[in-house]
Structure 1
């Protein structure tokens, strides 16, 4: 059994693109099969949303601790920025999840 590299595991923990297939190439039947596969894989998107929410809140909290208790606003910026970036990432994940659940498949 082949061991997966740590950086690959971290990437797969935070980013979900590896779960899905491309629906823009292939025959009509292949595109329809890829769409069905992607709709099945959409069940994992809420898990990614929770991960990004948890890490975002943790980073934002660490930024607050550094700014409030240690009076280090410059250092706290290193934690506020990743915490704030988790909001648009969650918006993209939510849009992908809603789109895969609500939109009809390719023709």
Structure 2
């Protein structure tokens, strides 16, 4: 079963570049949808799965912190060194969006990692 490629894998078993890039930056593919569960057993199984997968949040937080620092750094570079006005605004906006994403990840990680075990 593990040797058979999924629908998004090619014949050689490798994922396309855009799929890899998406999985590198976003973590939603790791988690199960608790709301789609049909009964209490499926909900409990999905919640337990999500609690196990929350150990990967620090990896994604590090990746997103690099993006945030890159955005702020490039914004400062374009603002100070090149005296530009539009490019720094674009970089600072992207950095603020990634910082907001990091806050969401931290809250989700805190709730999943510290949830009361049943």
TM-score exceeds 0.5: yes
Unpaired segments of 5 or more residues in structure 1?
A: none
Q: Provide the residue aligned with 2:114 in structure 1.
A: 102
RMSD value, Cα: 1.5
1:51 is matched with which residue: 63, 67, 75?
Answer: 63
User: The residue matched to 1:2 in structure 2 has which SS?
Assistant: coil
TM superposition shift of 1:103: 2.4
Using CA pairs under 8 Å that are at least 6 residues apart, name the structure with larger relative contact order, 1 or 2. 1
CA distance in 2, matches of 1:43, 1:92: 15
1:41 is matched with which residue: 47, 50, 53?
Answer: 53
What pairs with 1:1-107 in structure 2 (closer than 5 Å)?
1-24=12-35, 25-104=37-116
CA distance in 1, matches of 2:45, 2:117: 10
Query: TM-score, structure 2 length as denominator?
Result: 0.82
Q: Return the structure number with greater helix share.
A: 1
CA offset digits 1:15-39 (Å, max 9, x no partner): 1110000112122222111111110
TM superposition shift of 1:55: 0.8
Unpaired segments of 5 or more residues in structure 2?
A: 1-11
User: The residue matched to 2:23 in structure 1 has which SS?
Assistant: helix
The aligned length equals: 106
